[in-house]
């Protein structure tokens, strides 16, 4: 399916995914090995398959990104083909390069998109220049880790704006994902800067929704509504 824009949930928690999907405010889900481990995933490949299929079923036809667990090209290819066999709305996350750098991952990204018709989300990127190369290689999604960029002392919004300008300039179709979200404000700022998608933990969506003045106002409305009906029975 074609990429969507909006908020992607960064979680493997089925209850949280169901909760936010049921009210129509998420456009996809992303996972990675760290998220699965934190979610208590055990049981090997069979358990991973069943869990990822459950996520895919909840949000179908919206996309689910599942990340490879190794960095050897042939095994990454095998895993990518395995993942997409689990459900039609699964795409594959490939890191921009290996633990020591190298071109092998981008070569695989290019092959997956061109030769195997597998949608790829290139991840673990910290700069617009990395994202540009991934987009040029044919990636469907390019994931900039905005929170980590901020942690390094840089303004991630500048990288998002720069990337938006570059993709538009070169007429590249890759969708910009900004993740590693630390604060509620990040979500709005990154969309304003040109992100197509922002990934967030469910807790930040809860924080976006609830405002103390909204609660106070609703409480006032309800109290005054009760006064309007007082004595009418």
At residue 155, φ and ψ (nearest 5 deg) are -90, 110
Report the C-alpha gap between 41 and 18 in whole angstroms.
18
For 104, other C-beta atoms within 10 Å of its C-beta total 14
Report the C-alpha gap between 27 and 128 in whole angstroms.
23
The per-residue pLDDT for range 45-76, each reduced to its tens digit, is 999 999 999 999 999 999 999 999 999 999 99
Which string of b and e fits 108-143 if b means at least 16 CB within 10 Å? bbbbbbeeeebbbbbbbbbbbebbbbbbbbbbbbbb
Inform me whether the pLDDT recorded for 3 exceeds 80. no
Q: Which superfamily does 6-229 belong to?
A: Aldolase class I (3.20.20.70)
For the chain, what is the mean pLDDT? 95
Domain ranges of the chain: 6-229
Q: So which residues are the catalytic ones?
A: 93
Mean predicted confidence (pLDDT) in 177-183: 95
% of the chain residues with pLDDT over 70: 97
Inform me whether the pLDDT recorded for 13 exceeds 90. yes
Output the pLDDT for position 4: 62
């Amino acid at each position: 399916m074609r990429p969507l824009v909006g908020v992607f949930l960064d979680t493997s928690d089925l209850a949280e995914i169901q909760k936010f999907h049921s009210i129509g405010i998420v456009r996809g889900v992303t996972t990675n090995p760290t998220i699965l481990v934190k979610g208590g995933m055990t049981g090997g490949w069979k358990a991973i398959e069943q869990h990822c299929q459950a996520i895919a079923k909840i949000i179908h036809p919206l996309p689910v990104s599942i990340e490879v667990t190794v960095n050897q090209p042939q095994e990454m290819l095998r895993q990518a083909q395995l993942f997409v066999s689990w459900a039609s709305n699964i795409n594959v996350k490939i890191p921009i390069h290996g633990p020591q750098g190298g071109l092998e991952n981008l070569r695989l990204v290019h092959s997956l998109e061109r030769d195997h018709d597998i949608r790829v989300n290139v991840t673990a990127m910290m700069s617009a220049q990395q994202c540009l190369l991934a987009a040029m290689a044919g990636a469907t999604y390019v994931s900039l880790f905005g929170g980590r960029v901020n942690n390094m002392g840089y303004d991630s919004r500048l990288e998002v704006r720069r990337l938006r300008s570059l993709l538009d300039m070169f007429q590249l179709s890759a969708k910009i994902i900004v993740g590693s979200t630390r604060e509620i404000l990040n979500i709005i700022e990154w969309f304003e800067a040109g992100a197509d998608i922002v990934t967030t933990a469910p807790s930040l969506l809860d924080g976006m929704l609830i405002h103390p003045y909204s609660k106070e106002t609703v409480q006032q409305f309800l109290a005054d509504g009760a006064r309007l009906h007082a004595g009418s029975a």
